[in-house]
Amino acid sequence: MEMFIPDSLLKTLQEIGEIGGTDAYLVGGSVRDLILKRETHDIDIVVEGDAISVAENVKTYWHGEIQVHHQFGTATVTSANPTYPKIDFVTARCETYQQPATLPNVEEGTLTDDLLRRDFSINALAMRINSDDFGDVIDITGGIEDLKTGTIRVLHDDSYFDDPTRIFRAFRYAGRYSFRINETDSDLIREALPFISDLSGERIRNELDRILLEDNATEIVRMLSEFDVFEVIFKDWRITPDLINGLKTAEDSIKWSSIHLKDDTLLKKNIRWMALFGLDESGCLPTYHIEALCYRLVLDHQLHRIAGHQKETVCEEESATVLRGVFEKVGYGLADNTTFDFINGKWCLVDSGNKSTYIYDEGDIYKIQTPLATYSGLKNVLSKIVEDTRDSEIYHLLREFPLETLALGCTDGNLSELHRECINNFLLRQRSVKPIITGDDLIQWGEEPGEHFQKILHYLFAAQLDGRISCKQDAFTIFQEYKQ
């Protein structure tokens, strides 16, 4: 099998092969990527037998460091030589699923077991690294042929049911390598779709995060939406063509920020997620839906308590009646079409009639606050900004928003040039302007310290932002005018 193994990796693998002998194999994504002659990042070594002991020996040979996870039979070794990649060692295992969408039972197994437990044929490849057979590829599921024909194929019909994250993974690989999903797999995916709902929010978010990091993310999102995956995650989540453009805007924004906002810590992920919730009026999810999704997927959010009540026992069957009663008592009447879901250990109520989402937990009612719902707020605020709006006013309107929201606005072609210019000016100039006048100056000018200081300083800073003050002398003149 012709493969591209960069020199540094070749040496690394040969050394591991010397130590692990015929028990150690390179497996999974790295074999796939070497065959595809692509760069590979995660180096996974499967050992038939004791992976930790092989890892310990490699660590000693490399004068490196090791992190051992005894309960999983795994270890990660980092060489003292920084040109060597980090290596994960795993004991070969056999997996059985008791229920769809839950984590499998794991037992020690053979290499064959370990390959057969995997998601796709293209990931179920192993390569020998012992010196006699170095480079021999073990392919018991037809993975090489699928790599040649560009096919994504699971190893058995229950695979997507057992682990519905594989639905996301199938599209991720299809998008990344421009492969096609086998017809049988497309049918299996459609059948397994409802089981996505059984996955924990973290697992879904993790898969979507990985997709959003792909170069071809927009295409992958488009494919997922063709299969109605987003509707399964959240009933009203539709991916419109405008939303796909929004993802491109997010990438432009991330590029722009990496050049212009180098000194700021921006959560790039949040920019992508905001775009995934929609930027334009027609495709944008309403705020209360974004809140529910952030709660469900455990995305950036906080719970803000709005009311307390005596604890009620809420069982599944009576949830709607009991919770309605609880909310009624504290003055939050719920519309008829409110949905009640027990998510992440709490009740999540989506009241479409009143456009509100609430969390109920042990007698307390919460609203969800998330920076990911701020984009429509930014658009509302921008609608107040016209040609002759003063700089100080723009400053006070924009400073409430997270950097990610503003960075997204900066590259959003749907916004007017004036509004984008305002955001740009705020981010690059205004927000780092320091007030020329401080409380000490006011004291020097004979002002008695007190609550009114805040008001005067605010007034003077606004005058500075509007270009009326550029030195202390200007400020003193304006201060005297203010006092009259």
Where on the chain is the footprint of ligand CTP (CB under 6 A)?
28-29, 42, 118-119, 123, 163, 165-166, 169
- Largest Cα span, the chain: 93
Give 20 or 28: the residue with its C-beta nearer to ligand CTP. Answer: 28
Question: Coil, strand, or helix at residue 343?
Answer: strand
Give 85 or 409: the residue with its C-beta nearer to ligand CTP. Answer: 85
Give 175 or 246: the residue with its C-beta nearer to ligand CTP. Answer: 175
Please say whether the beta carbons of 304 and 297 come within 8 A.
no
Give the shortest CB-31-to-ligand CTP separation in angstroms: 9
Closest alpha carbon to 138 in 268, 76, 48, 62 = 48
Give 46 or 368: the residue with its C-beta nearer to ligand CTP. Answer: 46
Give the shortest CB-73-to-ligand CTP separation in angstroms: 15
Give the pair of three-digit tokens for residue 321. 């009646």
Partners of 87 in the β-ladder: 43, 77
Partners of 137 in the β-ladder: 127
Closest alpha carbon to 113 in 140, 89, 134, 75 = 140
Give 121 or 430: the residue with its C-beta nearer to ligand CTP. Answer: 121
Give the shortest CB-316-to-ligand CTP separation in angstroms: 29
* Angle ∠(16,18,23) on CA atoms, nearest 5: 75
Give the shortest CB-432-to-ligand CTP separation in angstroms: 38
Give 118 or 296: the residue with its C-beta nearer to ligand CTP. Answer: 118
Give the shortest CB-233-to-ligand CTP separation in angstroms: 17
Give 45 or 397: the residue with its C-beta nearer to ligand CTP. Answer: 45
Q: Minimal CB distance to ligand CTP: which residue?
A: 29
Give the shortest CB-41-to-ligand CTP separation in angstroms: 7
Give the shortest CB-417-to-ligand CTP separation in angstroms: 39
Give the shortest CB-202-to-ligand CTP separation in angstroms: 14
Task: Give the pairing of strands 137-139 and 125-128.
Answer: antiparallel
Task: Give the pairing of strands 180-181 and 151-152.
Answer: parallel
Closest alpha carbon to 367 in 260, 464, 295 = 295
Give 178 or 470: the residue with its C-beta nearer to ligand CTP. Answer: 178
Which residues are CB-contacts of 422 (< 8 A; sequence separation ≥ 6)? 382, 385, 394, 398
The H-assigned helical ranges of 130-227 are: 143-149, 159-162, 165-177, 183-192, 201-212, 217-226
Which residues are CB-contacts of 173 (< 8 A; sequence separation ≥ 6)? 120, 122, 152, 179
